[in-house]
Amino acid sequence: MHVETLEWAGGRPGHVRMIEQTLLPGRHEVIDVATVEEMFAAIRRLAVRGAPAIGVAAGYGVLLGTQDLAGASGDEVLARTRATCERLAESRPTAVNLFWALNRMRTRAESEHAAGRDGDAILDALFAEAADIHAGDRDTCRRIGEHGAALIQDGWTMLTHCNAGALATGGMGTALAPIYVAHEQGKRVSVYADETRPLLQGARLTAWELMQAGVPVTLITDNMAGRVMFEGRIDAVIVGSDRIARNGDVCNKIGTYSVAVLAARHGIPFYVAAPLSTFDPDLAHGGLIPIEERAPEEVTEGFGSRTAPEGVAVYSPAFDVTPAELVAGIVTEVGLIERPDTARVEHALALGGRLQTAG
């Protein structure tokens, strides 16, 4: 059984309860997030991370910023909603689900306001919208899992990079969802997990949650991936994504591109699992995706122990882009986009009702 990474607690007024992921695997601690600034900080410091989970957290963050306005006018609620969305949008620049969820919340408030609803009615609508974002993510993860499990043969060993499991979503995960469903189906499936430098999401999070679910997992350092492929230990690679361009170029945690190149060299299929909300149809190709850079200290003294000389220059992009030509398929809630290109991505987006947002 997979873990639950976050939930809304306490009704109205309420707060968000979430696993503090920066403490895993040493401590499994659940924290309460009760204000917009606390949510901003939680997203920024990676207490909650993974594109879909960030989207769910953002929806709930809007509730944290508006729920004290019971009895206020519609104008006041709309103004606060917009201000809250603007603040939360500053927390992370790359994960498109953040902006997708905030846009849903802002658009819902604007629609209700335009229809002449009073402040309390707009608040009701915002609570319903945030709950729908979370419920929709759970359903999407399950459907990704079922579509992806069909690709996994009994006895296969998968390799994954970073964490795209239940800890990264509001449901059972993206990249790990097919593995969980295959495991439920009785298939013998095991996983090699890259540790994922510099913040070790694979070591700290993926290995932990797979062990919690009873899925056999072996941890390796990032620079061992080529060796285990060369030894014939890997049948397929599956990773998540934080943003996918219209042509199928995939942005994911730094190091993913290297894994894709290695997989291509060894004739191993490289799959991506992501909801349609992760696609950015306004970006024609991956070169247009903004890449977040993280603090040098995450490399030079990660987890409090200095591992590099004082004053050394550091370049620390958090993500890289894998060209669509290296991707065997993208598993979405509407099915597999095989050998993704612009036409195939546009077809999937049209099926999911997302193409109309394209510029």
Catalytic sites, residue numbers: 242
User: Length of the chain in residues, anyone?
Assistant: 359
Compute the 3-state secondary structure of the chain and give helix, strand, coil in percent, each to the nearest 5: 45, 15, 35
Contacts of 38 (CB under 8 A, 6+ apart): 64
Rg (CA), the chain: 20
145-184 CB burial, b ≥16 within 10 A, e <16 = bbbbbebbeeebbbbbbbbbbbbbbbbbbbbbbbbbbbbe
- Counting beta carbons within 10 angstroms of the beta carbon of residue 82, is it exposed (0 to 12), middle (13 to 18) or buried (19 or more)? middle
Distance from C-alpha of 107 to C-alpha of 113, rounded to nearest angstrom: 10
Nearest of 194, 165, 160 to residue 177 by alpha carbon: 165
Full DSSP string of 49-95: -SHHHHHHHHHHHHHHHHGGGTT--HHHHHHHHHHHHHHHHTS-SS-
Give the β-pairing of 15-19 and 243-245.
unpaired
Distance from C-alpha of 92 to C-alpha of 249, rounded to nearest angstrom: 20
- Count of other CB atoms within 10 angstroms of residue 274: 29
Helix (H, G, I), strand (E, B) or coil at 212: helix
Determine the residue type at 357: T
Distance from C-alpha of 183 to C-alpha of 188, rounded to nearest angstrom: 7
